[in-house]
Chains A and B, each alone.
Chain A
Amino acid sequence: MAHNDNDGRLATQQDFELLVSRYYSTLYQFAFSLTRNEADACDLTQQTFYTWARKGHQLRDASKVKTWLFTTLYHEFLEKRRRQVRFPHLELSEVNQDLPNIAPATVNELDSSTVLKSLARLDETFQAPVALFYLEEHSYKEIADILGIPLGTVKSRISRGIAQLHQILTHDPGPQPARTRRHG
């Protein structure tokens, strides 16, 4: 019996390691796109896997593991944000000063940090869909499941979010989203 127990535990641990190896990077990137803070993103990623370790066995459909992980991370983020106000209170004008003035031709010279800062300037409702969109880990349907919103809404938010991002990064004179402050 002990032998079987050990085998079972070993298999579970191996499965877990495999799961971490496969998804921890993209989960962290998604978390960072939401929090823009390394420590918070690490916490969210770790918390997601701990939740999996405790409750993952309840998931019957193995093909939903990835969606489950991202959904859990997003819910953790929302819950954390609801409890805490940790992000700096910044006026849009202050954020603008941090952003480089980028011409369309220089888009390919952007670094990840600048892209993330630009993402942070999007309307909050666009940020998570756009981040998931660019990570290219999920279909639209899966993104809808993760965020808990209808498929049509996901498509609409992605289109509008990309348009905003485009405007921000290329400094097009298009309309900015009505957003004056960022809350944690």
Chain B
Amino acid sequence: MDSRLAKEILLRCRPGTAEASDPEFAEALEQAKRDPELGRWFAQHQAFHKTIRDRFRQLPVPAGLKEDILAGYRPAVIPFWWQQPAFRSLAAAAAIVLLIGVAFFWSQPREDRSFAAFQNRVVRNAQRGYVMDITTTNLGEIREYLATQGAYADYVLPAPLEKLPGDGGAVLRWRNKTVAMVCFDLGNHNDLFLFVASRADLPYAPSTSEPQFTQIGKLTAASWSTGDRTYVLAGPGDEQFVRRYLSP
């Protein structure tokens, strides 16, 4: 390393800093030791450096600057993840989707759990045509069959019905609940249909044993509840006709 290059390197040497041990500086310093003229120059330069450095560091800082900075400081509250704009946008989008979903849900025909719905379902099923699981005139056999199928077989028949011959029986389902169907032969290809369900499965069922009548299609239906059971008896004709089979 020649003196000119050493001088250029030593110009930017900051004694007392970690850089002073840098190989580049170390080599230049060695050169300054070997070259008396360079050594003298470096000594002068060090004094120059120290003076200028001190003047920079002594540069007065205005009183109150720190206080001004702190006074103007508004703490940067780093938003939690749920306060981040991106999440808020996502949440807003999710809320909109949810609202649309709810609106769609409410706009859809909901499951009708009314007793009328039950009546309609079972009585219209009888009118549309059905398949009996057992065909017999023997009411006892029908009851036995229903018992074996887990349907309600403990029904109490009004006396007029007890006198009619059976036509058959079947097990229906209503909201995943079992409904027993007993068919009575009225002759002339006419039937009476008795549906027996658990009262607990039909929260809006008649609460009394007094029959309530309604017309469903071509059939007249009478409904009542006794004990744990709810009954629907449907038959051709008017209320008066059906009522004849309910009480003696």
A interface residues with partner B (beta carbon < 8 Å): 8-9, 12-13, 16-17, 20-21, 24-25, 28-29, 32-33, 38, 42, 45-46, 49-50, 53-54, 56-57, 104, 107-108, 110-112, 114-116, 131, 133-136, 139-140, 155, 158-159, 162-163, 165-166, 169
B interface residues with partner A (beta carbon < 8 Å): 8-9, 11-12, 14, 17-19, 44-45, 47-49, 51-53, 55-62, 65-66, 68-70, 72-78
Chain A proximity of B96: nearest CB distance (Å) = 27
In the complex, what residues of A have CB within 8 A of residue B70's CB? 16-17, 20
Query: How long is the Cα–Cα vector from A104 to B11 in the complex, in angstroms?
Result: 16
Closest residue on chain B to residue A9 by CB atoms: B75
Query: How long is the Cα–Cα vector from A62 to B69 in the complex, in angstroms?
Result: 21
Q: Which residue in B47, B49, B59 is a CB contact (below 8 Å) of A116?
A: B59
- Say whether A28 contacts B52, CB under 8 Å: no
A139 and B18 contact, Cβ closer than 8 Å, known pairs A50-B73, A53-B75: yes
In the complex, what residues of B have CB within 8 A of residue A49's CB? 69, 73
Q: Which residue in A33, A136, A163 is a CB contact (below 8 Å) of B53?
A: A136
- Say whether B12 contacts A57, CB under 8 Å: no
Q: Which residue in A53, A112, A116 is a CB contact (below 8 Å) of B73?
A: A53
Chain A proximity of B60: nearest CB distance (Å) = 7
Q: Main secondary structure on chain B at its contact with chain A?
A: helix
Q: Which residue in A8, A24, A135, A162 is a CB contact (below 8 Å) of B56?
A: A135
Q: Which residue in B45, B59, B66, B73 is a CB contact (below 8 Å) of A29?
A: B59
Closest residue on chain B to residue A115 by CB atoms: B55
- Say whether B65 contacts A134, CB under 8 Å: no
- Say whether A134 contacts B66, CB under 8 Å: no
Query: How long is the Cα–Cα vector from A67 to B73 in the complex, in angstroms?
Result: 21
- Say whether A133 contacts B69, CB under 8 Å: no
A42 and B59 contact, Cβ closer than 8 Å, known pairs A20-B69, A24-B69, A108-B51: no
In the complex, what residues of B have CB within 8 A of residue A32's CB? 59
- Say whether A21 contacts B58, CB under 8 Å: no
Can you add 6 more A-B contacts, CB < 8 Å, to A46-B68, A159-B8?
A: A21-B66, A24-B65, A25-B61, A33-B59, A107-B51, A159-B9
A134 and B53 contact, Cβ closer than 8 Å, known pairs A46-B69, A166-B48: yes
Query: How long is the Cα–Cα vector from A78 to B12 in the complex, in angstroms?
Result: 25
Q: Which residue in A50, A114, A162 is a CB contact (below 8 Å) of B11?
A: A162
- Say whether A46 contacts B48, CB under 8 Å: no
- Say whether A53 contacts B61, CB under 8 Å: no
Query: How long is the Cα–Cα vector from A42 to B51 in the complex, in angstroms?
Result: 25
Chain B proximity of A17: nearest CB distance (Å) = 6
Query: How long is the Cα–Cα vector from A131 to B53 in the complex, in angstroms?
Result: 9
